[in-house]
Amino acid sequence: MKATQTGRMPRIAALGFAKMGLGLWALLASMSAWSADASVTSNKLANGAEVVLNGVGEARELTGTLYLGALYLEHRSTNPEVIATSVWNKRLAIRITADKLYGRRFGQLWRERIAINTDRKQVTELGKDIMQFVDLFKDTYIRGDQINIDFSPNIGTVVSINGTVIGKVKNPAVHEVIVRAWVGDKPPTAQFKIGVLGTADDATAIALQQQFGTLQPTAKRIAETKAWAKDEYALGG
């Protein structure tokens, strides 16, 4: 019996190591394939500036997932204060993961996060501009919708849905409070902040980035959201 057990041990161990090897190979293959997806790892803004992926986080509520948020910066950083206050070109890219997210609820989420992550005096001073930003989110969003919130020092904050611009806030100070809603002391969730700061563990970061890349609107949906554009979308002067 002992001889039989002793003889089987190397085989069992070998099988275990083989499975581990396959798992490691799959992870490395996934990482290799993912590194080639330049459409997610870097973006180009309307002004021609290139921004690189800083990290991806998932916003959730008790009822389930809401969206994935990706933070793009001119220069990667893990410092929330630098990210919020810098005058770099930036993009807050959102991919809706909920089956349906009402614009009123989405706007409320922004209003709440901005209020609790911003000095009260600053909220008062920027009240009109903040409300103009929040009021842009009036429509109903579905899984796969892509919302980009871009900031350029010489342009201001521009919001687009599935490639169609729906609004613009010229006051440059507004973008700081918008960014703080993600990287401030009270982000959507602690894990969300870890994700967008680029400090999540490798396996989590890769999984979120891959999911982010797969969320796409259909051609029909793109056509529908084009109707949301306004002839006069410039806000704040």
DSSP 127-192: HHHHHHHHTT--SEEETT-EEEEEEETTTEEEEEETTEEEEEE--THHHHHHHHHHHSSS-S-HHH
Average pLDDT over residues 212-228: 94
Report residue 110 as tokens: 């922004």
Reply yes or no on whether the pLDDT at 232 is more than 90: no
**Pairwise CA distance, residues 92 & 151, whole Å:** 9
Average pLDDT over residues 105-125: 94
pLDDT recorded at residue 32: 43
- Report pLDDT digits (tens) over 178-219: 999 999 999 999 999 999 999 999 999 999 999 999 999 999
Reply yes or no on whether the pLDDT at 24 is more than 60: no
pLDDT recorded at residue 176: 94
Reply yes or no on whether the pLDDT at 163 is more than 80: yes
Report residue 85 as tokens: 């206050």
State phi, psi for 128 to the nearest 5 degrees.
-65, -45
What integer best gives the mean pLDDT of the chain? 85
What predicted TM-score, i.e. pTM, was given to this entire model? 0.82
Question: At 228, is the pLDDT very low, low, confident or very high (cuts 50, 70, 90)?
Answer: confident
Q: Which spans in the chain are helix H? A: 2-35, 38-41, 80-85, 103-116, 120-125, 127-134, 173-183, 190-196, 202-214, 219-226
Kind plus residue range of the DSSP H or E element containing 55: strand 50-61
Nearest to 42 by CA among 93, 97, 95, 94: 93
- Report pLDDT digits (tens) over 26-85: 444 444 444 446 678 889 898 889 999 999 999 998 889 999 999 999 999 999 999 999
- Report pLDDT digits (tens) over 117-136: 999 999 999 999 999 999 99
pLDDT recorded at residue 230: 59
**CATH code that applies to domain 39-235:** 3.50.70.10
pLDDT recorded at residue 37: 64
- Planar angle of CA 105, 198, 209, nearest 5 degrees: 70
Each domain of the chain, given as residue ranges in start order, spans: 1-36, 39-235
CA atoms within 13 A on the CB side of 163: 10
Reply yes or no on whether the pLDDT at 140 is more than 70: yes
Reply yes or no on whether the pLDDT at 8 is more than 70: no
